[in-house]
Chains A and B, each alone.
Chain A
Amino acid sequence: RKEVEQDPGPFNVPEGATVAFNCTYSNSASQSFFWYRQDCRKEPKLLMSVYSSGNEDGRFTAQLNRASQYISLLIRDSKLSDSATYLCVVRYTGGGNKLTFGTGTQLKVEL
């Protein structure tokens, strides 16, 4: 079983739609959680950190459920420019700053 699991997609949605991505992690000692965005053939870039209380950044909302070891990302009012791969990322307690990435979920927003 992978340490961080995501549905690879692709998720094909029309512009303006709301889309949700889910992620589960296996190590209960996980400390910090993130969503990274990766455009085709580019480097990953931090989209947002995920906090236990949930957090929002514009059209993006991230949620964390430590009891279920589950992380989510909600994108409202999808734009064409949101098309990318979204990587769920976990950092473990005592692991320095090592990040463990999921395989990513591909999103395609269409006209």
Chain B
Amino acid sequence: EAEVAQSPRYKITEKSQAVAFWCDPISGHATLYWYRQILGQGPELLVQFQDESVVDDSQLPKDRFSAERLKGVDSTLKIQPAELGDSAMYLCASSRLAGVGADTQYFGPGTRLTVL
């Protein structure tokens, strides 16, 4: 069964450092999502891509976060500089299409970030 791949699985960094997370969606999935899940809360959408285009980044803290999906396949989420409050699980998900009749979102295993 095809899966969403993410790396690294765990990342420990000091505040003010830069971190980057990588995601490879299920082959053929045009839509890719980055979510952040703080302990004890549900995931919150940070950014959504349709192919290489950003569809929704309204909740992405753009002063320190950036995301790209240059070739419409894999994606990178970057934080610079990291802050203590960024400690969370960063989840990537993908789906075959968006809009009416949108397919199920499949989640990767996540990257657990700890900022010291």
Interfacial chain B residues near A32, Cβ < 8 Å: 102
Judge whether B42 and A43 touch: CB under 8 Å.
no
- Is there contact, CB below 8 Å, between B42 and A97? no
The total of Cβ contacts below 8 Å across the A-B interface reads 57
A45 contacts B by Cβ under 8 Å: yes
Given contacts A4-B42, A97-B48, 16 further A-B contacts (CB under 8 A): A32-B102, A43-B107, A44-B107, A45-B107, A46-B105, A89-B42, A91-B102, A96-B31, A97-B31, A97-B95, A97-B102, A98-B33, A98-B56, A99-B43, A100-B45, A101-B43
Which residue of chain A has the shortest Cβ distance to B110 in the bound complex?
A43
Tell me whether A42 and B109 are in contact (CB under 8 A).
yes
Within 8 A of B (CB), among A56-109: 87, 89, 91, 95-104
In the complex, the answer to whether A96 meets B55 with C-beta atoms within 8 Å is yes
Measured in the bound complex, the distance between the Cα atoms of B40 and A8 in whole Å is 9
Also in contact, A98 and B45, with CB within 8 A (given A43-B108, A43-B109, A44-B107): yes
Residue of A nearest to B102 (CB): A97
Selected contact of B99 from candidates A4, A8, A96, CB within 8 Å: A96
Interface size (B, Cβ < 8 Å)?
26
Interface residues on A, range: 20 to 34
Contact A87 B109 (CB under 8 A): no
B48 CB contacts on chain A under 8 angstroms: 96-98
- Please measure, in the bound complex, the distance between the C-alpha atom of A25 and the C-alpha atom of B64, giving whole angstroms: 31
Chain A residues closer than 8 Å to B95, beta-carbon distance: 97
Residues of A within 8 A of B104 (CB): 46
Residue A41 lies at the interface, judged by CB distance under 8 Å to chain B: yes
- Inter-chain contact A97/B91, CB cutoff 8 Å: no
6 pairs of residues in contact across A and B, judged by CB atoms under 8 Å? A43-B107, A87-B42, A96-B56, A101-B43, A103-B41, A103-B42
B70 at the A/B interface (Cβ < 8 Å)?
A: no
Q: Which residues from chain A contact B108 at a C-beta distance below 8 Å?
A: 43
Convert A12-42 into 0s and 1s, putting 1 for each residue whose CB lies closer than 8 angstroms to a CB of B. Answer: 0000000000000000000010000000011
Interface flags for B77-116 (1: CB within 8 Å of A; 0: not) read 0000000000000010001011100111101111010000
**Is B44 located at the chain interface by the 8 A CB criterion?**
yes
